[in-house]
A and B are shown apart, each in its own frame.
Chain A
């Protein structure tokens, strides 16, 4: 890692980036006006055979196009991103994780997501960003922003052929970490969508008419009614479900779900891994739009908060180690 910028240097870089971005925005707006006025005015003049004035409008159109392609926006985008990575993201990760690794362009592999089999809707492709890997209190963790897409074929009446359309079915955080316990069967949790959500999938054709028709039916009922109403629990072994879902863990999952502001999915796998996905509709590690990039402390607090959300989950998974410890 290069020497990170100090907060003042980062603030100065962000301010310059914002200024250039604003300047670029103004140029684009002016160019758009020139092109529209030049284009429309020129057309009207030509229709009325006023060639001289049409030529003036033509010049205006050309000037507009030149300004448009000349308005490059900020040239500092990559530098800003690197600055934030070195000054905010990596220090925050290194403070919490061992062997921390961050890559804005990478994401959790699609194969790993498919293997989890915990998302109820079918998907064909994915993209994502902000891959974080590391070790937290002896447990390997991997997380990134993920978007899942469903491809469907639609008959285009005008072209008289099938066209494909992509629909987003998941957008949010996906995390995989060591669980540290052995299970004889998988335990999956899916947040209940209720009748409204179930029907919405059918109406918007995110799932076929009879697909997932039993998806809201639990295999296991715990003694916590609130938890049972909120989550569908799937497992071939009720004992393993109870082993994982202690009263304390269930309370924590409910609190975590409320804090996440999205649908939560979890899978405790036989191999000792746990998948956690939150369909929040937004990227977890998004640091806001350009105009917000001026308060370095706020950005640092926001990113640290996102990391703490993840480490709280891992702390809770480890907590059961001490819950039944002998005095």
Chain B
């Protein structure tokens, strides 16, 4: 009788643990998807601001046709890897725009340019936050599915990929004086 009760309690406890652990995995997956969505939103906002800046730049440097024909397609539901790649393309676009602005002091000093520049900085801060949040959620999930005994329940769940930093940020910083 007592053995039966003990076995029953153990079974219930194991059941509670299975439910709690499975729900925990699911909650983490939802957080990851939310965070990925946050990256999409931040990236779209950044691209939008850069496009506006490009339109302003057209008024000063209409002959710079190569830059003005560049289009980057952002669609919903992209993976982290795809978003990383789009981010690299936007970085390249931003670098070109700001390099162009260096040659046009009137453009750099215009109110619209300054406002958009502030907006782009804010968009980049949001993107940084979204990226850090996403990677933090990934770490939590990948750790949870790897740790014993939860790894028994992880089953076919695979680790998520991180949102990678831009290639140049991996390299040593070049100091020029």
- A residues with a Cβ closer than 8 A to B are 181, 221-223, 238-240, 242-243, 246, 320-321, 323-327
Contact = CB atoms under 8 A, between A and B. Distances in A.
B126 A243 contact: yes
B90 to A, nearest CB: 12
Contacts of A223: 132, 135-136, 139
A324 B132 contact: no
B129 A326 contact: no
A60 B31 CA distance: 82
B128 A326 contact: no
Nearest to B137: A238
A239 B117 contact: no
Interface string B115-150: 001001110111011101101100110000000000
Given A239-B130, A326-B117, A326-B120, A320 B125 contact: yes
B38 A239 contact: yes
7 contacts: A223-B132, A238-B31, A239-B126, A239-B133, A240-B129, A323-B125, A324-B124
B94 interface: yes
A325 B122 CA distance: 9
B147 to A, nearest CB: 16
Nearest to B41: A239
Contacts of B121: 321, 324-326
Q: Is the interface of B mostly helix, strand, loop or mixed?
A: helix
Given A223-B135, A326-B120, 14 more contacts: A223-B139, A238-B35, A238-B133, A240-B129, A242-B133, A246-B125, A320-B125, A321-B121, A324-B121, A324-B124, A324-B125, A324-B128, A326-B121, A327-B98
Contacts of B133: 238-239, 242
Nearest to B31: A238
Contacts of A221: 136, 140
B98 A326 contact: yes
A46 B6 CA distance: 84
A240 B94 CA distance: 25
A324 B38 CA distance: 18
A59 B129 CA distance: 80
Contacts of A181: 122
B108 to A, nearest CB: 11
B104 to A, nearest CB: 15
The 5 closest A-B pairs by CB, nearest first: A242-B129, A243-B129, A324-B124, A242-B133, A326-B98
Contacts of A246: 125, 128-129
B94 A326 contact: yes
Interface in B33-69: 35, 38
A316 to B, nearest CB: 15
A223 B129 CA distance: 11
A208 B72 CA distance: 58
A321 B31 CA distance: 28
B128 A222 contact: no
Contacts of B128: 246, 324
Contacts of A240: 129
A320 B128 CA distance: 12
